[in-house]
Amino acid sequence: MKPHLLTIFSKSMVLCAFAATAVSCKKAIETAKPEYRALTEAVYASGTIAPRGEYKVYAMADGVITRRAVDEGSVVKTGDVLFRIDNDEQAARMNAARDVYRTAESNYNATSPALAESESALRSAQSKYSNDSLQFARVSDLFASKAMTQADYDKAKLAFQVSHNDFTAAKQRYERTKRQLYVDMQNAQSQFKVSAKQESNALVKSSSDGMVYEAYKQQGEAVRRNDPLALIGSERDVYIKLSVDELDIQKIRVGQEVLVKIDVYQDRTFKARVEKIYPMLMKQDQSFRVDAAFVDGLPERFVGVTAEANIIISRKERALVIPKALLLNGDSVLVKNADGNAAKVKIRKGAENYDVVEILSGLSDSSQLVVKK
C-alpha cells in the first residue's frame, strides 16, 4: 500500500525523535522511549474525480452519423438532440411499412372495394331472403286453406330455405372479411409503429440536464447499435470515486472525513466526506469502491483527474505512541530491563498510521525500547 498523504512522522524522524543511547561495559544498546503525541489514524485511498449523474449515451440504431449537435463542454437539457444517425435501409423499411398500413386502413374503410363487394352480396342475399320469406308465408296460408298444391308448397319452401342459407353464408362472409381486414390493418399499424420507433432512434437525445464531458464519435462515422457516443454528467456537481484496499475496508464508515489531494490543484488539500460504500469487491485490484462528497466543491470542472486521499479513521490529542519499526510480529517489542538486557514484551495496539502505533497496554512513557539495527 502507498504511504499516507498525512504522514505524521517519517521513519527516520520518528526514530531520531525517540532514540537515546545507553552504554554498558559489554556493549552499547540504542534505546528509545514511548512518547505522548497527537495521533491521526487514516486509511489511504486513490481515485478519480467524476461528475454526478454521469451516464453514457449509446447508439440505438445502425447507420452513419449525419449530424453531431454537441461538443465536449456543451451544456444540454433533457430532450436535446445530441446526434442524428441515418440508415437508408431503415428509411426504406419505414416507408414501405407506412404504405402497407395506409392500404390496410383504406381496405377496412366502409367504401373500400373489398368490403363494398362483400356488403353488396350480403344486401342482395338479404333482399332475396326477405322476398322468399314473404312468398313462403303466403304459400303456407294458401296451402293451409287447401288453395295450394303440395308441389307448389314444397317449391316455395325450398326457395325460402335456399335463400335463408345464402343470406346466412353471405353474412358470415361479410363478417369474416371485415374481421380479416381489421386484423390486417392492426398488423400493418403495428409494423409501422415498430418501423417508426426504429426511425425515431435515429435521433439520440439527452435524458437529463448536464454537460457533455466526452464525445466519442465524429460526424460521418459509421456506428452500430450500442456503440457509445458520449459521456454526460452534472454540469457543476462532482465527487470522488475512491478505491480502498480490502484489508482496510472494515474501518470505513459513512460520514468519515476525507482529505484529498488532486494533481491539477498542486499544494491544495480539499475536504470531503464518505457518502457511500459499495459492497462488491473489485477483483482486478482487490479493492472496494467508496464515494466521497466534497464539502466545499472544486473551483473548476475538471473530471477524470487522479486524486489521492486519506480517510480519517480517528484523531487523538494525546496518545502514547512508538515507531512501527520497533514492533516484533505486530504485537511485541524489545525492552531494556533493569540489568541492561533486552526482553521481549507483549503490547496491545490502538490506533496507527504509516509510521507510528498507539500503545494501549504493556508500556509506559518511561519504558526503554531497544532500537533494532
- Match 503525541 to its residue by C-alpha cell: 37
Question: Which pLDDT does position 18 carry in this prediction?
Answer: 52
What pLDDT, on the 0 to 100 scale, is given for residue 5?
A: 41
Nearest one of 320, 344, 319 to 332, comparing CA atoms: 344
pLDDT in tens, 85-103: 887 776 677 788 788 888 8
Q: How many CB atoms lie within 10 A of CB 240?
A: 26
Q: What pLDDT was estimated at residue 273?
A: 96
Digit-coded pLDDT (tens) for 75-85:
999 999 999 98
Please write the tens of the pLDDT for every residue from 163-201. 899 889 988 888 888 888 888 888 888 887 777 776 777
User: Which residues share a beta bridge with 30?
Assistant: 21
- Answer whether residue 10 shows pLDDT above 70: no
The set of residues, in sequence order, having a beta carbon less than 8 Å from that of 292 and lying 6+ positions away, is 239, 240, 242, 258, 260, 272, 273, 274, 275, 309, 311
Instruction: State the helix-helix crossing angle for 113-144 and 150-200, rounded to 10 degrees.
Output: 160
Question: CB-based contacts of 373: which residues, under 8 Å, 6+ apart?
Answer: 30
Give dist(CA 212, CA 66) in Å, integer: 19
Burial of 310 (0-12, 13-18, 19+ CB in 10 A): buried
For residue 150, pLDDT over 80 is answered with yes
Instruction: Please tell me the distance from the alpha carbon of residue 13 to that of residue 150, in angstroms, as a whole number.
Output: 134
pTM above 0.75, yes or no: no
- pLDDT tens sequence across 215-243: 999 999 999 989 999 999 998 899 999 99
- Output the DSSP codes for 135-180: HHHHHHHHHHTT-S-HHHHHHHHHHHHHHHHHHHHHHHHHHHHHHH
Q: Across the chain, what does the average pLDDT equal?
A: 85
CB 119 within 8 A of CB 106: no
**Model pLDDT, residue 348:** 92
